[in-house]
Structure 1
Amino acid sequence: MAYGEKPQTHVIDTSKASAARMYDWLLGGTENYDVDRDACVELLKIAPSSQQLARSNRDFLRRVVRFLAAEKGITQFLDHGSGLPTQDNVHEVAQRHHKDAKVVYVDDDPMVLAHARTFLDDNDNTKVLGYDMRCTGDIRAATEGFLDWDEPIAALFVSVLHCLPDTDDENDPARLIQTVARQLPAGSYMVICQLVSDDPVVRRDVTDLMAVATNGKWGRVREKHEVRRFFDGLDIENPPGLVDVIDWRPDSAPPPMHLRPTDWVEWGGLARIPG
């Protein structure tokens, strides 16, 4: 495995929850602490479907990477906010279809980086970068010579943009997506989804809880029309378009509407860089 140039400068803080470790717990993992589990308990009080959403989101990641590799012929992946390694990571899915597929994982969580170094040690076609996903110039520079930026790349923003706050500069999530889209060669793809809710109380209470639990390392739960704007200028893959991710090319029949969560959903889709 190749590593990023940026050294790990932060120790693992076990006094505050981490979104990556909370996600790990919701998926049934063990790489988390009491503070993460306590935050998840409070989260489930506000949004009881959170564990179900975490699992359906992971299933979506597997399906969309498989689709890109098997049906679109994509052999390069740039995974922003990759989180802790679990089963069927991006490189495992992609390399089943293209054994030489290259995957770059980007995350600035010290625990994610520590586990990724161990988990990916024997895979020369993966690279781990310890950057904030908003450091687009640094990420591009660090992947030169590993990814071929003249050939299509799939940039993944799966369940991470709700961790970023709205700003008036290039760090704004929508601006981030636009910047990455401009960097990617024509024919590349972007996978974008985040947590959304039609319930203003859920949006407010989850956002407030996570902001406190993670010591401000959080953005906000958004609405569908806000996420839809992230796709401006991109060619959305139809079918199925932008949907609850359980409806994105499911392997089996998704649950009927009356059995689905009413608190929040993971919402988004796949889009191609035109040209």
Structure 2
Amino acid sequence: MTYGFPDGYFARPTVARVQDRLDRGTDNYPPDRDLVRDLVAAAPWLPGSVRVNRAHGPRVLSYLTREHTIDQVIDLGCGLPHDDNRYVPDEVRRMVYVDSDPGVEAHARMVLAERHGTESLWADLEDMPALLAAGPIARLDCGRPIGVLLHDVLPWLGDATAHTVLAALRSWLPAGSVLSVTHATTDMAPEAMSALTRLYEGADIGFRPRSGKQIRELLTPWVPLEAGELRTTASWRRPTPLHPRFDHSHAYAILASPGDRTS
């Protein structure tokens, strides 16, 4: 990819800047704010959902280092930098942030410049061979497990691209690696999700929340690391149950391993 801002980049909303606005950030512009106003009118819980998803990243990183002794991680579709979603445990020796948005990568490079062991990469998930061959990824040790965060990424991909991304990761990841996924779902507030989908479509942004069944099918043949029903992002590994009334995530959190690559 040739680095630079495409024509009209600041004149139309982007997913990263819309998410930033929903999370009360400042790296957004009038087109993003106009879309956010309509999105929140359709789904008042949406800002809470974004914040829950952002807070999930540090929790998963702590889990990966503590439970799986993973010390190298790739954050695919990392989004604009915020203090809470750039937390890296001391146990993580290498952290690579990846996004296809040139504004995200520019911010990431600036924020990460003085952090030892962290790198950023501007790359598109639609070209997985190029992404996996890029320097920051190629410098990871493929003789040891790698953690991959795929948080709030798959809903912005069509089925074919999502399957391609997941297949490429499953084939490439070393044994013992762990994939962490969060995914917006139609299982909760389906009418509001339909309204959000239409609003994003009007802004020329594809948004595809999926049912729990569809998400499970998308992750076949990955091996789930947690048995039972899918858990919402807000309720994942909570010590006490969360009443549905207070669960604003409207998304599932899943951990999976590549399993047997001969299948």
TM-score when scaled to structure 2?
A: 0.89
Unpaired stretches in structure 1, ≥5 consecutive residues: 1-5
The 3 A distance-change label for structure 1 pair 144 and 118 is closer
Tell me, in whole angstroms, the C-alpha distance in 1 between the residues paired with 2:52 and 2:137.
33
The 3 A distance-change label for structure 1 pair 225 and 239 is closer
Alignment partner, residue 32 of structure 1: 28
Tell me, in whole angstroms, the C-alpha distance in 1 between the residues paired with 2:55 and 2:131.
27
Map of 1:127-146 to 2, 5 A cutoff?
127-142=119-134, 143=136, 145-146=138-139
Shift of 1:241: 5.9
- Are the equivalent residues in 2 in contact too, given 1:63–1:249 (CA < 8 A)? no
Give structure 1 regions of 4+ aligned residues with deviation exceeding 4 angstroms. none
- Are the equivalent residues in 2 in contact too, given 1:79–1:156 (CA < 8 A)? yes
Identity of aligned residues (%): 30
Unpaired stretches in structure 2, ≥5 consecutive residues: none
Alignment partner, residue 147 of structure 1: 140
Map of 1:252-271 to 2, 5 A cutoff?
253=240, 255-261=242-248, 265-271=250-256
- Are the equivalent residues in 2 in contact too, given 1:246–1:254 (CA < 8 A)? no
Shift of 1:231: 2.4
Tell me, in whole angstroms, the C-alpha distance in 2 between the residues paired with 1:24 and 1:253.
30
Tell me, in whole angstroms, the C-alpha distance in 2 between the residues paired with 1:123 and 1:40.
32
Tell me, in whole angstroms, the C-alpha distance in 2 between the residues paired with 1:230 and 1:93.
29
The 3 A distance-change label for structure 1 pair 241 and 139 is farther
Q: 2:105 aligns with which of 103, 107, 113?
A: 113
Q: Which deviations, in whole Å up to 9, do the C-alpha atoms of 1:189-233 show, x marking residues without a partner?
A: 1111211123543333211211222x33x2412111111123222
The 3 A distance-change label for structure 1 pair 118 and 226 is same
Map of 1:32-181 to 2, 5 A cutoff?
32-90=28-86, 92-94=87-89, 96-98=90-92, 101-142=93-134, 143=136, 145-167=138-160, 171=161, 173-181=162-170
Q: RMSD value over aligned CA atoms? A: 2.1
Match of 1:191, as an amino acid? Answer: S
Match of 2:155, as an amino acid? Answer: H
Alignment partner, residue 204 of structure 1: 194
Shift of 1:180: 0.9
